[in-house]
Structure 1
Amino acid sequence: MDDLTGFQRDLLYVIAGFDRPSGQEIKEEVEEYYRSEINHGRLYPNLDTLVNKGLVEKGQLDRRTNYYAITADGEQAIVDRHEWKSQYIG
């Protein structure tokens, strides 16, 4: 996870917290946290990066809607990140 941006890490955490969220659901959750609008040109390329790195899988709910799900590698990346951060903060 050391090669991910902070935004990509945040997307990974959001995806891990939901059961197969759509891109729109992820967008809404991240917008709430960031307190600003996240445009599609920022969101979807970063989701694709997570998919390409094998941290997230992408599937189709219907013709217009994709879902995203954390993979075992994605879960492990979160665990590793948490353990690393725990060295510095309680």
Structure 2
Amino acid sequence: MHDLTGFQRDLLYVIGGLDDPHGLALKDELEDYYESEVHHGRLYPNLDTLVDKGLVEKGKVDDRTNSYSLTRRGRREIEARREWEDEYVDA
């Protein structure tokens, strides 16, 4: 997780919070959070990076739409990150 960008970490959290979201659902969620447009050229390469790192699994909804879900490793990385954050931030 230490080698991910903030945007990639945010993607992991959003993917983990939705049921097998597709790219446009992720884009919408992130745009709500960032309060600005997330371009396809930013979103999809970062999703591919998370897939390549084994943190996210990409599935196929139809010929034009992919779904995304966390792998076990992706979930473990989020849990480890939250434990690390808890060491520094009071709940």
Q: Normalising by structure 1, report the TM-score.
A: 0.99
Map of 1:33 onto structure 2: 33
Map of 1:84 onto structure 2: 84
Aligned Cα root-mean-square deviation (Å): 0.4
Deviation at 1:44, TM superposition (A): 0.3
What count of residue pairs does the alignment treat as equivalent? 90
Once the two structures are superposed, the pairs formed by residues 37-76 of structure 1 within 5 Å of their partners are 37-76=37-76
Instruction: State the AA in 2 paired with 1:66.
Output: N
Alpha-carbon distance in 2 for matches of 1:47, 1:70: 11
Map of 1:24 onto structure 2: 24
Among all aligned residue pairs of Structure 1 and Structure 2, give the percentage whose two residues are the same amino acid: 62
Instruction: State the AA in 1 paired with 2:2.
Output: D
Deviation at 1:19, TM superposition (A): 0.8
Map of 1:2 onto structure 2: 2
Alpha-carbon distance in 2 for matches of 1:37, 1:52: 25
Alpha-carbon distance in 1 for matches of 2:40, 2:22: 13
Deviation at 1:16, TM superposition (A): 0.2
Alpha-carbon distance in 2 for matches of 1:19, 1:72: 15
Q: Normalising by structure 2, report the TM-score.
A: 0.98
Q: Which runs of 5+ in 2 are unaligned?
A: none
